[in-house]
Structures are given as C-alpha cells and as structure tokens.
Chains A and B, each alone.
Chain A
C-alpha cells in the first residue's frame, strides 16, 4: 500500500470546470440563437428543480424524483447485468480453455456481438411475450460480450508456469480452478465486468423507451412525448452521471485486484 501526500492541486478541480462552463455556454448560445426549442440552462434548472431537490419524491406514477427513476433503472440493469455475468463468465472460461470450443463458437460470437439492443428487444418480446423479461434478455445479451471475451483472454493469458505448477503438484480440477485459474484470470474478468456494466447502462435507455418500463429512460421518452424538453436534458445528465459513478466504482475494484495480484 502506497500512501501519497494529499496536496491541493487547483488545476485538478478548475480545469474540468472549464469543460463544463464551455458546454453550458454553447448550450445557452444554441438555445438563444438557432434552436428555439432547446430550453436555456436557466429554464431547464427552474423546471427540473423539483425533481432534483426532492430526488426521492413520488408525486405520481410519472412524476417522481430523478433518483427514484434512476433507482428503477439501476435495479433493472442490476438484474440484467447479473444474468450477463452469470452466463458470460462460464462461457468465457470454456472459450479460453478449449481450443475446440473456441474454434466452434468464436465466429458466431463475433457476429452476434455488434448487434444493437434495438434489434434484440423485439426478439426478446417474441421469445418471452412480456416486456420485463424481454428487457432483461436484451440487457444481458448486449452486456455479456465484454465479459465473455475478456474472461477468455484472461484464461488464455495464464502463464504456462502456473499450469505446470498445478500439474506437478497434482492439484485436483477443483483446486486448479479455484487456486490457479480463477485468481490468474480475475483481473481480466473484472475488466470485462466493468465494460459490461457500461454497456448494460447504455442499453437501459433504449430498452425502457421501447418497453415503457418506469425508469430514467422511460421518463425521458415520456417527457419528450409530453413536450417537456427540460426534462430530457435532466435525464441525459442523470444518465451520464450515474454511468460515470458506476464506471469509477468498478475501476476502483479492478485496480485493487491488479495490485493484489
């Protein structure tokens, strides 16, 4: 564990503000000049304020605080993401361990990987007939690939030395897995988990829009239809901030694992 002295570095806080100010300035300029439909920053703030200052309020089914909407979305993402990891990790392990399996399934995975969530959702609806399982299916299948591919890469990258140790010590398959394969692959797996979470969060908006599920994406779409454009911006910012926080959390876990190994 390294401890570095915490020194106040103004540029670390001020320079990011430059980007924020520039964006808000461009936004204000745009709404004032060429895009009359775009609400100004000030107007957006005044309209969106009740949703922010009371983030957990529930005034009605379509009138709730942003945190509450974000929570619905996060919960749906969590379930879909759990499915992605549950299926993606073992698949990645087999893909990394078995050349035969990799040769058989890698091409089809490469074909399925770039398919957009908007394309998977209708198939999910056909398969499951209800919007909730279809949403989970879509999130899981879109978010799964980074976990699959990174886990497979991790397994393939295990140094031969460690495998030789396992063989020489005659470790049982279970011990080889838990004491050698899994710890050696863990850092790669978590890179996959982090990327998968990013995609799951990306997919949620599209899924909620199309299925009408309550959540930050559903709210966004509904407010667009109700012509309350200020709320669209509120939603975009919320989605961005939540995604940023999720990524930071996962990076922190990932870094710890790299240090541990």
Chain B
C-alpha cells in the first residue's frame, strides 16, 4: 500500500438535486518521500482535492488514507502551505511560526521552541525579517513564512496548494528553487498543486494532470526522470522536459478538456522563464 492513497474519491457541493460533483473518481498514490505535482485548470477542484488530504474537507465517496490510516481531520503529520499565505496578520513572522511549533511540540521548553522556530525561519532565508508583521513583507516573503510554518511542525507530508500562484515570475522562480532545495534536504513527501506545467515538471518526480471540472478527474501520470538538481536554463532544451510537457498539455487540451468548454486559461500555457537564471 502506498504511503498516501486516494481511492475512488468523489466530492460535490450543493444540496441534493442541485448538487454538482466537483471531483470524480480520483485515484492517486504517492510513495514516501515522493514529490508529486497535480496540474490543472483554475476552478477544477484542485484545492478541494488537497483539502481532503489536509483533512479540511471529507470526501463524499471513496477513501483517503495516509500510512494505511484513513484521514478524518487535520493532523500534525501534514503541513499545509495555502495559496494566499494565510498568515495571521497580528503576529510577526516569528510568532506565526512559533504558534505552529508551540502546538506541535507542547512538551518542549520555550528555549527549544524558540530555537526551532528560528531555525525554520533561517531555512527559508527569513532570519532578518523575524520581527516583521505580514503587512510589512512582500508576497514572496509571506509565502516563505508560510513554508517555514508548515515545515516547523515536522510533518510527514507537505501539502502545497498553489503556493506560488500569486507571485510574479521572478519571485516564483526563486521560490521554486528554494522549495526544490528544501525538498532535497528534508526528503519529505510533497503534494504540489499548481496551474503551471513547467513548475510541476521542474519540481516533481511525477506530474499528473487534472481535467477540467465539474466532475474533474486525474489523467495519466507523467514520470519526470530528469536528475536533480535540475537546472532551469538547461531544462528548456532537455528532450525529457519537452516530452513531459507535451504529454501533460496534450492531455489537458485534449481528453482533459471536454468539448464545448471555453479555451484554457492563458496562465496554463507554459510561460517561458528561461531568462531567469537559476
């Protein structure tokens, strides 16, 4: 049995009769230590999918299991980085991280908690912004705090819900490299939700497209066997990269998009970021 497993998962919203099924027959397995990216259309139910893993939402049908045990609610074994940072604006960067540490490691001394929180701020290169409030931080810095907060509880699985979606291309590239670096050192299991095919390929071991909703479902997985560390400049010319990108996009624009649907959002088309040095 895989470490994280979704079997025949379906989820809908609305009252009986007017109910729309957002996700339909989702089957996904993630091995321990694996980095899996799910890429799909805006509004296809990507966040709903990750919420069922984080425990914020429960599936209507099917099962979600982690390490063989069904997920019934949020837990310290899963760290979540939300799309819109979701930092508490009245706490400093440090206090936001400390709040998570405090809850996860209640038995520690305050000295231990402090060092642990500071270590994770340093991990995302934010030691200098320790005492800043979120309103004083840029979008990229906020998302770093959010990553530090998620990692600080030492989860087994890191759930990234379009973590870089709101950032500009340059900041995005820098943070992609940081996520890649952190993943290679921590070797956590990561589930990344994104609408950027290139981002998924750059970071993940496997990339899986999610078809357009309603009744969105996962398409065929594409394994990315490009060795790490991956060089974003060289990757654009890598045949394996091009092949993976074609496969994902062909699914998303082909079988993953039913007839009569509007054309895909422009953000889905791979943006060229080769000008950004790694």
Name the interface residues of B70-90: CB closer than 8 Å to any CB of A.
73-76, 78-80, 82, 84, 86, 88-90
Cα of A151 to Cα of B104 in the assembled complex, Å: 30
Chain A proximity of B53: nearest CB distance (Å): 11
Those of A52-102 within 8 Å (CB) of chain B: none
The answer to whether A162 and B103 touch across the interface, beta carbons within 8 angstroms, is no
The residue that B82 contacts in the complex, of A164, A172, A179, A183, with Cβ under 8 A, is A164
A171 touches B (CB below 8 Å): yes
Given contacts A161-B82, A161-B84, A168-B74, whether A261 and B99 have CB atoms under 8 Å apart is no
Interface string of A245-261 (1 = CB under 8 A from B): 00000000000000011
A169 touches B100 (CB 8 A): yes
A167 CA / B89 CA spacing, docked (Å): 17
Bound together, the chains give a CA A183 to CA B90 distance in angstroms of 7
**Interface residue SS majority, chain A:** helix
Asked if A260 and B90 make an inter-chain contact with CB atoms under 8 angstroms apart, the answer reads yes
A261 and B89 contact, CB distance less than 8 A = yes
The answer to whether A183 and B56 touch (CB under 8 A), given A169-B103, A171-B99, is: no
Closest to A164 in B: B56
Q: Mark A160-198, 1 if CB is under 8 A from B, else 0.
A: 011011011111100100011001100000000000000
- Taking the closest CB of chain B, its distance from the CB of A164, in whole angstroms, is 6
Contact assessment for A162 and B99 in the assembled complex, using a CB-CB cutoff below 8 Å: no
B54 within 8 A of A: yes
Q: Is B38 in contact with chain A by the CB < 8 A criterion?
A: no
State A171–B74 Cα separation when bound (angstroms). Answer: 10
Query: For A162, what are the chain B residues with a Cβ–Cβ distance below 8 Å?
Result: 86, 88
Asked if B117 is at the interface of the complex by the 8 Å CB criterion, the answer is: no
Known: A164-B82, A165-B82, A175-B103. A170 touches B75 (CB 8 A): yes
Query: In the complex, what residues of A have CB within 8 A of residue B73's CB?
Result: 167
Residues of A within 8 A of B93 (CB): none
B153 within 8 A of A: yes
User: Across the two chains, which residue of chain A brings its CB closest to B102?
Assistant: A175
- On chain A, the residues within 8 Å of B54 by CB distance are 168
If the complex has contacts A164-B82, A175-B103, A179-B99, are A169 and B153 also in contact, measured as CB distance less than 8 A?
Answer: yes
Interface 0/1 of B43-55, CB less than 8 Å to A: 0000000000011
Residues of A within 8 A of B91 (CB): 179
Asked whether A171 and B88 contact (CB < 8 A) given A161-B82, A164-B56, A165-B82, the answer is no
Is A171 a contact of B82 with CB atoms below 8 Å? no
A184, B90: Cα distance in complex, Å? 8
B170–chain A nearest beta-carbon distance, Å = 25
Give A169 to B87 CA distance when docked, in angstroms. 12
CB-defined contacts of A184 to chain B, threshold 8 Å: 90
Q: How far is the CA of A260 from the CA of B78 in the complex (A)?
A: 31
- B86 with A165: CB separation less than 8 A: yes
Interfacial chain A residues near B80, Cβ < 8 Å: 164, 168
Contacts of A179 in B (CB 8 A): 88, 91, 99
Considering only CB atoms, which chain B residue lies closest to A175 in the complex? B103
Question: Contacts A170-B74, A170-B103, A172-B103 known; A165 to B56 CB distance under 8 Å?
Answer: no
**Residues in B neighbouring A183, C-beta threshold 8 A:** 88, 90
Q: Which residues of B contact A172 (CB under 8 A)?
A: 103
Pair B76/A170 contact, Cβ less than 8 Å:
yes
Residue with the greatest number of chain B CB neighbours at <10 A, chosen from A170, A180, A261: A170
CB closest chain-B residue, reference A159: B86
Expressed in whole angstroms, the Cα–Cα distance for A170 and B88 within the complex equals: 15
CB distance from B191 to the nearest CB of A (A): 14
Chain B residues with CB below 8 A from A165, complex form: 82, 86, 88
Minimum CB–CB distance from A231 to chain B (whole Å) comes to 48
Contacts A/B (CB < 8 Å), 14 sampled = A161-B82, A164-B56, A164-B82, A165-B82, A165-B88, A168-B54, A169-B74, A169-B99, A169-B100, A169-B103, A170-B75, A171-B99, A184-B90, A261-B90
Nearest 9 interchain pairs by C-beta: A161-B86, A183-B90, A168-B74, A168-B80, A167-B74, A165-B86, A169-B100, A169-B103, A261-B90
Besides the known contacts A169-B74, A170-B74, A183-B88, 8 further A-B residue pairs in the complex with CB atoms under 8 A apart: A161-B86, A167-B55, A167-B56, A168-B79, A168-B80, A171-B103, A180-B88, A183-B90
